Amino acid sequence: MLDKSVPYAGLYMHRKAGAPIPASLLPDGFRFALYSDGDEVCWARIEAAVLEFDGDFAALMYFNEKFMPFVEELRRRCLFIEDENGEKVATATAWWSFTDGERNPWLHWIGVDPQWQGLGLGKAVVSKALEIVTGLDGDVDVYLHTQTWSYKAVGIYKAHGFLPTDDKALYKERKDNYKKAMRILARLERRRKV
């Protein structure tokens, strides 16, 4: 869940082709599932629960606008983790974005329902999403956007080969965010070590 007590700054991260992908191990009782019709409601519930949106409806509207026009791609790229009852408890999307007119693979909207956090599901869903990228797009560079409010997830991303990047093509209007994000993360790291 986002920690909004921390100052906000957006941060882009970049994973170079060839970086190893940690095994996508799940605890007993959980399984991976790809998107099927109706799962947008589950996606919205998870993303609202981690405070990425102000409620399920706002999340669902975003999903319908950004992803539903590509429903066949959703069936290959939108990943969930289900518990033993089939309830979707985590998600990540192996999608794409355009940078300087070039289509690049990105991980989007990585989230684990707060009541299921701390079990390693975040690590597992990131690993599996990277496996999807590799299977569909090849062993290529991958990007993601995060924020200082997700500072705990930054460690997961680093363990998967993602490093903060100050690539100016990504920041465009927010040129100061990289330095600001790095200062905030360094302060949090120092505080954690004390």
DSSP string, 119-180: SSHHHHHHHHHHHHHHHHH-S--EEEEEEGGGHHHHHHHHHTTEEEE--HHHHTT-TTHHHH
pTM (2 d.p.): 0.94
Paired strand residues for 94? 107
Domain count, the chain: 1
| CATH number of the domain enclosing 26 | 3.40.630.30
The pLDDT value recorded for residue 180 is 93
Do residues 106 and 95 touch, judged by C-beta distance below 8 A?
A: yes
Which residues 6+ apart lie within 8 Å of 100 measured at CB? 169
Tokens of 75: 């069936």
Cα 193 from chain centroid? Answer: 26
pLDDT digits (tens, 9 = 90+) for 70-89: 999 999 999 999 999 999 99
pLDDT digits (tens, 9 = 90+) for 95-108: 998 777 788 999 99
The pLDDT value recorded for residue 183 is 95
pLDDT < 50 positions in the chain: none
Residue 160 lies inside a defined structural domain of this protein: yes
Residue 5 lies inside a defined structural domain of this protein: no
3-class secondary-structure state, position 114: helix
Paired strand residues for 126? none
- Domain membership of residue 101 as a residue range: 10-193
The pLDDT value recorded for residue 102 is 82
The pLDDT value recorded for residue 174 is 66
Cβ count within 10 A of residue 123: 21
Residue 121 lies inside a defined structural domain of this protein: yes
The pLDDT value recorded for residue 98 is 79
